[in-house]
Amino acid sequence: MKIHILGICGTFMGGVASLARAKSHQVTGCDENVYPPMSTLLESQDISITQGFNPDDIPTDIDQVVVGNVMSRGKPIVEAVLDKKLSYISGPQWLHENILKDCWVLAVAGTHGKTTTASMLAWILEYAKMSPGFLIGGVPENFGVSARIGGSGFFVVEADEYDTAFFDKRSKFVHYHPQTLVLNNLEYDHADIFPNLDAIKTQFHHLIRTVPSNGLVLSNKEEANLQDVLDKGCWTPVETFASSDDNATWSVKLHDKAGRQFDVLFENEVVGTVSWSLMGMHNISNALASIAAARHVGVPPEHAINALAEFKGVKRRMQLRGEINQISVYDDFAHHPTAIKTTLSGLRNSVGEQKIIAILEPRSNTMQMGVHEGSLAASLALADEILLFQPEGMDPHFLEEVKRATAKAAIFTEVDEIVMHVAKTAQPSDQVLVMSNGGFGGIHDKILSQLEARS
């Protein structure tokens, strides 16, 4: 089959393209943001990509158009697909019909931690020689790719609540039909899609309705919003996990404040001890969920614990990008106040009193709409210095409110200004934490280059 993908360079749609190519389909695609590493990765798989959304770039002999959720009515290429009556399908539906429907699907949902938990879970299954397929919204360092077919009937998918396509406003995850479902957490996000938290809860309950009675739901016991969803009706066995609640099915006992070593308890009985390189209570919660999900498909907890000792993390999730003159520069995907707070908490528990310089690009639609105005300053409180980037065209009111709330904050309108500020002021043992869900103008490499030049 010949398929053409609209919006092919996003992480999810790029993963769909890779999976389609692995299934021997002929794949082409287009996007407005065609640049490495995604463009290079896809082209290495013999996938031809064109820049922009020109209707004339759709091959005339195409069998099906796969539509990414960046596409909307009114775009000439979308109107051309409809006017010409081309066969079209959303990415999530294509994934279900062509990959997932014959698999045991392990789905990871939640506002935060989806990518890391899904990566842990895929690695545990790989370590157990189960050769899982996966589609993850990031690149697990143990694999080096975000998607693969796998060699078994098990498939791990990051289950995103964002909408499916211009013609299907349900969340992506309702298409996945998991046998094993992880619910990490649930908060208000994606303000450009959902009017309020209850709207997101409704979508999560739609997901609950798709899990069979012989499946398993693993829910974070510390999240009241998830309990609200379950209370709407659940027809599947439920196990709970919690990093600080002994009454959960899965719980922990810490050996150190940073969370680098902890006992795993199943029904209050120790089943093993995790010793690993990650930090923070959020990652402990992610680990519990992945151990529990793996057990559902036959991996003993002690084997999962051994696997996590060799888990290398995920690119852009507290990834140490470099260290110059004892100044560490981290890259993290955090873009929601809760994620920012937990990331900073994990780093603070790890480095103690060392200075943390937090650099934030408020790039998400929700952030730029000012939805988190009242909570952003508090989420950054553990940092010693806060450098806020104001993108071109953004209403400055939001960041000004943060600056007024804390004397530690400063606002910059140019990436290079932040780079030079850090290069001039950072001292040995300082921790530079860059948080953004975008490329942020290559700021990480620029900071490291300037620190190197200074040395």
Q: What is the pLDDT of residues 199-252, one digit of tens each?
A: 999 999 999 999 999 999 999 999 999 999 999 999 999 999 998 777 899 999
Q: Name the least confident of 44-48, 249-253, 316-320.
A: 316-320
**CATH domain 2-90 topology:** Rossmann fold (3.40.50)
Among 89, 84, 124, CA closest to 16: 89
416, amino acid identity: D
Q: Does the pLDDT of residue 256 top 90, yes or no?
A: no
Residue 160's pLDDT band (boundaries 50, 70, 90)? very high
Read off φ and ψ for residue 80, nearest 5 degrees.
Answer: -70, -40
Token look-up 């806060």 returns 386
- pLDDT grade, residue 368 (50/70/90)? low
CATH topology for 319-454 is Protein-Tyrosine Phosphatase; Chain A (3.90.190)
pLDDT above 60 for 374: no
pLDDT confidence of 10, banded at 50, 70, 90? confident
Q: Give the best-scoring range by mean pLDDT among 279-283, 326-330, 372-376.
A: 326-330
Mean pLDDT score, 120-137: 97
Ranges in the chain annotated CATH 3.40.50.720: 2-90
CATH class of 99-308: alpha beta
The 8-class DSSP code of residue 68 comes to P
Provide CB contacts within 8 A for 431, sequence distance 6+. Answer: 328, 330, 347, 351, 354, 355, 356, 357
Q: What are phi and psi of 285, to 5 degrees?
A: -60, -45
Span 294-322, average pLDDT:
91
Asked if residue 304 lies in contact with residue 124, where contact means CB atoms within 8 angstroms, the answer is yes
Q: For 174-178, what is the mean pLDDT?
A: 98
Cis peptide before 59 (omega within 30 of 0): no
Q: What is the pLDDT of residue 259?
A: 84
Q: Which residue spans of the chain are classified as CATH 3.40.1190.10?
A: 99-308
Q: Quickly count: other Cβ atoms within 10 Å of residue 23's Cβ.
A: 12
Taking the CA atoms of the chain, what radius of gyration do you get in angstroms? 22
Number of neighbours of residue 173 by Cβ within 10 angstroms: 26
Give residue 454's pLDDT.
75
Q: C-alpha angle with apex 84: 83 to 90, nearest 5 degrees?
A: 85
Q: Measured between alpha carbons, how far is 323 from 447 in angstroms, rounded to an integer? A: 10
Confidence class for position 387, pLDDT limits 50, 70, 90: very high
The residue ranking higher by pLDDT, 171 or 373, is 171
Domain with CATH 3.90.190.20 in the chain: 319-454
**Mean pLDDT on 126-154:** 93
Q: Rounded mean pLDDT of 363-367?
A: 63
Using the CB atoms, write b or e for 261-273: b if 16+ within 10 Å: ebebbbeeeebbe
Q: Is the pLDDT of residue 144 over 80?
A: yes
Cα separation, 444 vs 451, whole angstroms: 11
Higher pLDDT, 246 or 380: 380
Mean pLDDT of the chain, nearest integer? 90
The pLDDT of residue 421 is above 60: yes
Bridge partner list, 155: 105, 133
| pLDDT-based confidence at residue 455 (cuts at 50, 70, 90) | low
Residues in Cβ contact with 418 at an 8 Å cutoff, skipping those fewer than 6 apart: 359, 387, 389, 412, 443
